[in-house]
Amino acid sequence: MVSLTELQVDRWPVRKPLSRGEADALTREIMVLKKQLNAVVLAHNYQVPEIQEVADFVGDSLGLSQQAASTDADVIVFCGVHFMAETAKILNPGKIVVLPDKDAGCSLEESCPAEKLRALQQTNPNFYTVTYINCSAGVKALSDVICTSGNAVKIVNACPPERDLLFVPDENLGAWVTEQTGRPMTLWRGNCYAHVEFQRESLLLVTRQFPEAKVVVHPESLREVRDLADMVCSTEKMITYCKTNAARQFVVVTESGIIHRMQKECPGKEFICAPSVDVMRAPTDPCRCSECKFMKMNTLAKVRDCMKNLAPRLELPSELIARARLPIDRMLEISARPG
Ligand code: 13P
Ligand code: SF4
What value does the mean pLDDT take over residues 120-141?
A: 98
Taking the CA of 82 as reference, the closest ligand is 2
Report which DSSP code applies to 46.
T
Q: Which of 255, 289, 293 to mutate to test the pocket of ligand 2 (most atoms within 8 A of CB)?
A: 255
Calculate the average pLDDT of the chain.
92
- At 332 the pLDDT is 95
Question: pLDDT tens-digit profile of 324-337?
Answer: 999 999 999 999 99
Q: What is the mean pLDDT of residues 153-182?
A: 98
What pLDDT score was predicted for residue 71? Answer: 95
For the chain, give every domain's residue range.
4-106+295-309, 108-193+318-335, 200-273
Instruction: Using only the alpha carbons of the chain, give its radius of gyration.
Output: 20
- Which residues lie across from 312 on neighbouring strands? none
> What is the pLDDT, as a whole number, of residue 5?
40
- 95 and 73 Cβ atoms separated by less than 8 Å: yes
Q: How confident is the model at residue 200 (pLDDT cuts 50, 70, 90)?
A: very high
Task: Give yes or no for residue 280 having a pLDDT over 90.
Answer: no
Q: pLDDT class for 275, splitting at 50, 70, 90?
A: confident
- Helix boundaries (H) for the chain: 4-7, 20-37, 49-54, 61-70, 82-91, 107-111, 114-121, 137-141, 152-157, 171-181, 200-209, 223-226, 235-244, 259-265, 300-309, 318-336
Range 11-16 average pLDDT: 51
Mean pLDDT of 121-134: 98
Architecture of domain 4-106+295-309: 3-Layer(aba) Sandwich (3.40)
Pocket around ligand 1 at a 6 A CB cut-off: 45, 60-62, 134, 148-150, 192, 220, 234-235
Closest approach atom of ligand 1 to CA 233: 4
pLDDT surpasses 60 at 262: yes
The domain 108-193+318-335 having CATH identifier 3.40.50.10800: the answer here is yes
Q: Is the pLDDT of residue 223 over 60?
A: yes
- How many angstroms separate the alpha carbon of residue 79 from the centre of ligand 2? 13
**Mean pLDDT along residues 139-168:** 98
Contact 77, 57 (CB under 8 A): no
Q: How far apart are CA 339 and CA 325, in angstroms?
A: 24
pLDDT, tens digit, 9 for 90 and up, residues 99-115: 999 999 999 999 999 99
Mutate to test the pocket of ligand 1, among 218, 232, 260 (most ligand atoms within 8 A of CB): 218
Residue-wise pLDDT tens digits, 20-41: 999 999 999 999 999 999 999 9
User: Which residue's CA is the closest to the ligand 1 atom numbered 10?
Assistant: 134
Type and span of the H or E element at 75: strand 75-79
CA dihedral in degrees (33, 35, 38, 39; nearest 10)? 50
54 Cα to the center of ligand 1, angstroms:
20
H-only helix segments in 99-197: 107-111, 114-121, 137-141, 152-157, 171-181
**What is the arithmetic mean of pLDDT over 78-91?**
97
Domain 200-273 in CATH 3.40.630.30: no
Q: Which atom of ligand 2 is nearest to the CA of 194?
A: 2
Q: Give the residue-averaged pLDDT of 66-87.
A: 96
Tell me what the mean pLDDT of segment 292-316 comes to: 97
Query: Residue with the nearest Cα to atom 2 of ligand 2?
Result: 192
Q: Kindly tell me if the per-residue pLDDT of 6 is higher than 60.
A: no
